[in-house]
Amino acid sequence: MDLLVGHATFRPSTVSSLLADALDFAKGSVVIDAGCGSGVLSIIAAKLGAGQVYGVDAAEDTVAIASANAEAHGVIDRTQFFEGDLFEPLPRGIQADVLIGDVSGIPDELAAATGWFPSGLSGGPTGAELPLRMIDEARAWLSKGGRMFLPTGSLQDEESILGKARSAFGNLKQLAERNIPLPSSIADHPALLELLKEKVVKLTQRGSRFLWTARVWELRP
């Protein structure tokens, strides 16, 4: 999918693709896309039949970039974008049938080393802080019977995130998993080695390559 991105926009990743493939919901559903970035998942949700999609992201160019992409892909009539912290800028009273929570993040030090995230948009010291806060706030934005699609990864404190998800929602189902090679320049980085030592992140090894694992979960109350 051709997309316009800005200097502060998180670019679609392998996790974005994994999450897009896992999306499944009824036609006409109301969708909130938290961490919408360029609007890619909002656009996909609209093309899958969502009645209305609300995208929100902290990046300073979110509204202009995501709106331009939605217009280019013919779904501007069913998408609306907001800039700000998590759900704070959304209109009060929205009750979504589906919440896409793509704010998985990685630890701040690792984000700085990889350059994968725009400045200030990583997940906190363990990569879990932002997702944990999102899960705490998510239930208030879901309609009765609403579902949340949540990506996690072994390059963050995944166990804490899944523990919070079980506590907040009760029902947790894994939908997808993919092992992703880690660039050799990152595998030897002191920040990663320290996080491995502290057991914050987990890697597997295949031959001479190290891999991290991305997963997508469905959360139901």
Instruction: Check residue 120 and give its pLDDT.
Output: 54
Helix (H) or strand (E) holding 197: helix 190-197
Global pTM value = 0.92
Collect all residues with Cβ–Cβ distance below 8 Å to 106 and sequence separation of at least 6: 114, 116, 117, 122, 123, 127, 153, 155, 156
Residue 127: pLDDT over 80 = yes
Instruction: Check residue 13 and give its pLDDT.
Output: 79
Mean pLDDT of 108-132: 76
What percent of the chain shows pLDDT beyond 90?
A: 71
For the stretch 39-80, pLDDT in tens is 999 999 999 999 999 999 998 889 999 999 999 999 999 999
Q: Given the DSSP bridges, would you call strands 209-220 and 171-181 parallel, antiparallel or unpaired?
A: antiparallel
Instruction: Check residue 67 and give its pLDDT.
Output: 97
For the stretch 150-196, pLDDT in tens is 999 999 999 999 999 999 999 999 999 999 998 887 888 898 989 99
Report phi then psi at 203, rounded to 5. Answer: -125, 155
Collect all residues with Cβ–Cβ distance below 8 Å to 125 and sequence separation of at least 6: 107, 108, 109
What percent of the chain shows pLDDT beyond 70?
A: 93
Instruction: Check residue 161 and give its pLDDT.
Output: 96
Residue 11: pLDDT over 60 = yes
Q: Does residue 111 or residue 176 have the better pLDDT?
A: 176
